[in-house]
Amino acid sequence: MLDRNAAAATPLDHAVDVLAGRSITTLTGAGISTDSGIPDYRGPDSPPRTPMTYQQFVSDPARRRHYWARNHVGWAHVHRTRPNDGHHALRQLEDHGVVVGIITQNVDTLHEAAGSRRVIDLHGRYDRVICLSCSRVIPRDHLAARLEELNPGFADEVPDAEIAPDADAVIEATAHFRVADCDFCGGVLKPDIVYFGENVPKDRVEAAFAMVDAADALLVAGSSLAVMSGLRFVRHAHRSGRPIVIVNRGATRGDDLATVKIDAGCSRTLTELAAALPDRLLTS
The reported pLDDT for the residue numbered 139 is 96
Distance CA 64, CA 77 (A): 20
Is 188 part of a structural domain of the chain? Answer: yes
- Same domain assignment for residues 227 and 134: no
- Same domain assignment for residues 75 and 96: no
Angle between helices 266-283 and 85-95 (to 10 degrees): 20
- Same domain assignment for residues 6 and 94: yes
CATH at 14: 3.40.50.1220
The reported pLDDT for the residue numbered 80 is 86
Amino acid at position 118, single letter: R
- Same domain assignment for residues 271 and 213: yes
Pick left, alpha or beta for residue 167 (phi over 0 → left; psi -120 to 50 → alpha; otherwise beta).
Answer: left
- Same domain assignment for residues 151 and 278: no
pLDDT per residue, tens digit, the chain (284 aa), is: 445 455 578 999 999 999 999 999 999 999 999 999 888 765 555 455 567 899 999 999 998 998 898 888 888 778 889 999 999 999 999 999 999 999 999 999 999 999 999 999 999 999 999 999 999 999 999 999 999 999 998 877 665 555 555 556 555 667 789 999 999 999 999 999 999 889 999 999 999 999 999 999 999 999 999 999 999 999 999 999 999 999 999 999 999 999 999 999 999 999 999 999 987 654 43
- Same domain assignment for residues 157 and 279: no
pTM of the model: 0.89
Domains of the chain: total: 2
The answer for residues whose C-beta is within 8 angstroms of residue 107's C-beta and 6 or more apart is 121, 123, 124, 125, 126, 166, 167, 191, 193
Whole domain around residue 177: which residue ranges?
48-80+126-193
The reported pLDDT for the residue numbered 78 is 81
- Same domain assignment for residues 271 and 152: no
Amino acid at position 151, single letter: N
Is 68 part of a structural domain of the chain? Answer: yes
- Same domain assignment for residues 189 and 240: no
Is 235 part of a structural domain of the chain? Answer: yes
Distance CA 221, CA 224 (A): 9
- Same domain assignment for residues 256 and 276: yes
Strand 119-121 with 99-104, pairing: parallel
Is 43 part of a structural domain of the chain? Answer: no
Q: Of 193, 211, 233, which marks where a domain is finished?
A: 193
- Same domain assignment for residues 203 and 181: no
Pick left, alpha or beta for residue 39 (phi over 0 → left; psi -120 to 50 → alpha; otherwise beta).
Answer: beta
- Same domain assignment for residues 180 and 205: no
Is 236 part of a structural domain of the chain? Answer: yes
- Same domain assignment for residues 153 and 76: yes
Catalytic residues: 123
The reported pLDDT for the residue numbered 284 is 39
The reported pLDDT for the residue numbered 124 is 96
